[in-house]
Structure 1
Amino acid sequence: MADEIHTTREPDGTTHTTTIVDRDPKRVGGTGMTLLVLAALAIAAFVAFQFLGNERAETGAVTEAAQKVGDAAQNVGDAAQEAVK
């Protein structure tokens, strides 16, 4: 912190003193930035959980479809064996 004092003398003998105080700049935005980062993390977590939930649902649907195809193939194989007898 630096202070400057300027004294000015007028021709009629009067003086004027001006003091300039230089203060450290205040830090603005620390709390705002923290809230912004927390909000971004919350949004990212929400999107990630939604994606993982969709991935699990898709995996379950594919597994179920594969099981149905396997069952149908088994039925066709059983029917073919019965036809040959």
Structure 2
Amino acid sequence: MVEERVEVREPDGAIHSRTTVYEERRGGGGGGSGWLVALVLIVALLVGGYFLMQATDSRTSRDNAIERAADNVGAAAKDVGNAAKEATDGDGK
């Protein structure tokens, strides 16, 4: 709290005094720091979302690769089975 006292002397010799009290404001006005914090939070959310999407895409790609590999193993087993059947059919003639 700041006080300002002013004394005024009139030409006739009378003295008038006036006191003004200024109160300091706390917590108001922040100077834009609230906007800075909000901006940092938004950027952090965007970066986190990007990495989350990348992880999801990575898992999807991995799952698709496993599925293709399983299909290839199944096709190869079928080919081996057909070759074995042809080999036994050819020996019996």
What's the CA shift string for 1:11-37, capped at 9, x where partnerless? xxxxxx986633222343211111111
Q: What aligned pairs does 1:1-85 form with structure 2 within 5 A after superposition?
A: 3-5=1-3, 21-25=22-26, 26-28=28-30, 29-85=33-89
For the residues of structure 2 that align with 1:6 and 1:43, how far apart are their CA atoms?
A: 52
Which residue does 2:14 correspond to in 1? none
Aligned residues: 74
Residue identity in the other structure for 2:69: A
Which is higher, the Rg of structure 1 or of structure 2? 2
Identity among equivalent pairs (%):
27
What's the CA shift string for 1:41-68, capped at 9, x where partnerless? 0000000111111111111111111111
Q: Point out where structure 2 has 5 or more consecutive residues left out of the alignment.
A: 6-17
Residue identity in the other structure for 1:63: E
Q: Secondary structure at the match of 2:53?
A: helix
Residue identity in the other structure for 1:21: Y
Deviates more, 1:53-62 or 1:38-47: 53-62
Q: Secondary structure at the match of 1:24?
A: coil
For the residues of structure 2 that align with 1:34 and 1:83, how far apart are their CA atoms?
A: 73
Q: Point out where structure 1 has 5 or more consecutive residues left out of the alignment.
A: 8-16
TM-score, with length taken from structure 2 = 0.66
